[in-house]
Amino acid sequence: MFLFFVIALLSLSYLWLRHRYSYWERRGVKGPKPIFIFGNLFKQLTFQEHISVAHKRWHNTYNDVPYVGFYKLLQPAVMIRDPELQREVLVKSFMNFHTNDVSVPDEDVLLKANPFFSSGEEWRQSRALFGTFFSANKIRSVFPAMLKVGTEWEQYVRSFKPNSAIDAKNICSRFTTETMLRCTFSIDGKSFQEESEFLDMGKLVFSPDFITALKLMVNFFVPVLQKFIKVSTVPKVMEKRFMDIVRNQIKIRDSGSVQCEDVLQFVLNGREKYEMSEIQIAGICVGFFVEAYETSANVLSSALYQLAKHPHIQDELARRIQESLDANNNEITYDLIYKHEYLEKVALECMRIQPTFFGIQKLCTKAYQMPILPGQTEPVTIPAGTPVLVPFATVQQDPEHHNDPDFFNPERFSPEQKAQRHKSAFMPFSDGPRMCIGMHLAMFNYKMGLFQMIRNFDIKFHPSHKPFQLHPMSFFNISKDGIKLIFTPRKTV
Ligand code: HEM
């Protein structure tokens, strides 16, 4: 009898799974074949393949349709191929897709204050709060602190023995960690010393080891599992340390003994107006740390990799930087970096040719009618709750939108060439009402890092450098074997 029940149960489960996995086929939507239970994420959940590799494969395989159907475990999901449809999801039909398909447990109190993880009215409020503190004016006022860090960073890189192998990610993380600490709290995080407390803390959130990878995998790729497994992204030790810093700094500033121009001060100035709790204040600061530290370090280190790979562009950038300095009495100013056209073009082309972020995952919040596909008699309406993946990294490497996409060419970002392509064919900071709040700050800091390194050093690959292969355990598109470079001080440009 028992055996009969087991067999009946297994048979019914099998039939149900088969039916489930024919969801897209029954609706005439193309997509990769799922594997039982894992859907289309088997290689990702077993850390055999980076998610970006799968996105690119699906994007290239189903190249005659604007969107593809796939399965996140058992859940039917959509991947958008077409930039116009991506724009539709992110901008024009925002009200149907206003929530990110990501989840953090309630215990992650600091991360919860970050708009990225909230939705509805909670998102609107935290976005408004965050937005106040990252305007262009605010960046200008933290520029002196950034410049100081840039100079210390340059001296740190100079301190290495000639021809030694320098890990690009490591030095870039030191730069972005220190910049963020000075700009947020005006504290010296000592990130250019061998042992660095804050550098170690940053690694706890994003380092590509098994446990961290598993946590991020659940939060970002199968958030539905969050209901069963509570996994904190911000480790308790980091939460406690940041709460201590914030409490301590509030005490110092309330006593009136110091005057600071930093993110914490901007936040404190609006404390009463926005009725912010200590947790919210700390949340904004931790959000800033987590967002700024890792994304910016990855973008910067991957740009150094690209410039080592394309020495003629590197030399041209160095020459143009020197030219601009000569014309500015050798003084590095906010405007010099902000308005440097060639620096901007190189920075953007590095982000295009080697995206460090796969894209963004939204959740359909209100049923939405998709465009009709070849062979369909009527269009599919996706119900609320359907995950919708917008992998902008695939579009920015598609020859349909970027001619000869593997060719490194900063001139793609000339006003003429930009005007010729679809607005959404390149959007590393996403688009629409939820687009990255820190974009201006991130771009400025990134260009500042490039400016300092390329102006001062000739950068080449170290003989121990291995070809770039995506790390299957990293949430970001980083190299499995790191990026090993040699920095030789430039004499003349
Ligand atoms: C080069 C570095 C960076 C890149 C490539 C980047 C990219 C992105 C992307 C793709 C999103 C998702 C947008 C969406 O949901 O549609 C995002 C969101 C966000 N980013 Fe960034 N980011 C960077 C740096 C920063 C920095 C330095 C900050 C710090 C202030 C920041 C703050 C945020 C916030 C708060 C959100 C959530 C916005 C919301 O959901 O309303 N980012 N970023």
User: Which atom of ligand 1 is the closest one to the Cα of 134?
Assistant: 30
Q: How far is CA 290 from CA 293, 295, 475, in A?
A: 6, 8, 13
Is the C-beta atom of 299 inside 6 A of ligand 1? Answer: yes
Q: What is the chain's mean pLDDT, rounded?
A: 89
Closest residue by CA, ligand 1 atom 32: 438
Helices (H) and strands (E) in the chain, counts: 21, 10
> Cα–Cα distance between 166 and 172 in angstroms, integer?
11
Mean pLDDT, residues 433-444: 92
Residue 271 pLDDT: 79
- pLDDT of the residue at 287: 75
List CB contacts of 64: < 8 A, sequence separation 6 or more: 374
pLDDT confidence tier of residue 13, bands split at 50, 70 and 90: confident
Return the residue matching tokens 């990799």. 305
Instruction: Report the C-alpha gap between 186 and 149 in whole angstroms.
Output: 11
Is 172 marked as binding a ligand?
Answer: no
User: Which residue intervals of 385-430 are DSSP H helices?
Assistant: 392-395, 415-420
**So what's the pLDDT on residue 207?**
66
Please tell me the distance between residue 114's alpha carbon and the centre of ligand 1 in angstroms. Answer: 10
Tokens found for residue 62: 């189903």
Give, as one character, the DSSP assignment of residue 424. Answer: G
The pairing of strands 166-167 and 381-382 is: unpaired
CA of 136 to the centre of ligand 1 (A): 15
Lowest-confidence pick of 117-126, 270-279, 376-385: 270-279
The pLDDT value given to residue 230:
63
Give the atom of ligand 1 at the shortest distance from the alpha carbon of 292: 27
Q: Is 295 in the pocket of ligand 1 (CB under 6 A)?
A: yes
Higher pLDDT, 234 or 101: 101
Which residue(s) pair with 76 in the sheet?
Answer: 71
- Pick the atom of ligand 1 nearest to 295's CA: 2
Distance set, CA 22 to CA 7, 70, 76, 376, 381 (Å): 23, 10, 9, 16, 16
Q: How confident is the model at residue 223 (pLDDT cuts 50, 70, 90)?
A: low
In the prediction, which pLDDT does 208 show?
A: 63
Mean pLDDT of all residues in 200-210: 70
Joined together, the tokens standing for residue 49 give 């393949």
Predicted pLDDT at 202: 72
Mean pLDDT of 2-15: 80
The whole-angstrom separation of Cα 421 and Cα 125 is: 35
Tell me the per-residue pLDDT of 80-123, one tens digit each, with 9 for 90 and over.
999 999 999 999 999 999 999 987 777 777 777 788 888 888 88
Distance CA 456, CA 207 (A): 29
In angstroms, the CA 244 to CA 282 distance is: 9
Amino acid letter, 139: I
Q: Which domains does the chain have, with CATH numbers?
A: 97-355+396-489 (1.10.630.10)
Q: Which residue has its alpha carbon closest to ligand 1 atom 1?
A: 296
Cα separation of 430 and 409, whole Å? 22
Residue with tokens 């149907």: 96
- Is 4 a residue whose pLDDT tops 80? no
Q: Going by C-beta distance under 8 Å and a sequence separation of 6 or more, which residues neighbour residue 108?
A: 117, 232, 233, 234
Residue 195 has a pLDDT of: 84
Question: What are the residues whose beta carbons fall under 8 Å from the beta carbon of 230, sequence distance 6 or more?
Answer: 105, 107
126-153 confidence digits (pLDDT tens): 788 777 767 777 788 889 999 999 999 9
Decide: 441 in ligand 1 pocket, CB within 6 A: yes
Q: Verify whether ligand 1 is closer than 6 Å to residue 437 (CB atom).
A: yes
Please give the distance of CA 44 from its chain centroid, rounded to a whole number.
18
Which atom of ligand 1 is closest in space to residue 100's alpha carbon? 15
Does residue 264 line the site of ligand 1, with CB under 6 A? Answer: no
353 pLDDT more than 80: yes
Tell me how far apart the alpha carbons of residues 293 and 291 are, in angstroms, rounded to a whole number: 6
Residue nearest to atom 29 of ligand 1 (CA): 438
For 405-432, write each residue's pLDDT tens digit.
999 999 999 999 999 999 999 999 999 9
Residues 174-190 have pLDDT tens digits of 999 999 888 888 888 89
Q: Is 25 helix (H, G, I), strand (E, B) or coil?
A: helix
Query: What average pLDDT does the segment 53-65 reach?
Result: 96
Closest among 298, 425, 362, 383 to 116, alpha carbons compared: 362
Flag whether pLDDT at 290 surpasses 80. Answer: no
Q: Between residues 159 and 112, which one has the greater pLDDT?
A: 159
pLDDT computed for residue 225 by the predictor: 67
Q: What is the dihedral of CA 380, 384, 386, 391, to 10 degrees?
A: 90
Element (H, E) at 487: strand 484-489
Nearest to 281 by CA among 291, 299, 268: 268
Cross-strand pairs, 369:
381
State which ligand 1 atom lies nearest to the alpha carbon of 180.
27
- 142 touches 438 (CB < 8 A): no
Query: Which residues 6+ apart lie within 8 Å of 124 measured at CB?
Result: none
CB 442 within 8 A of CB 296: yes
Mean pLDDT of 10-29: 90
346 vs 80: CA distance, rounded Å: 28
Asked whether residue 493 carries a pLDDT value surpassing 60, the answer given is no
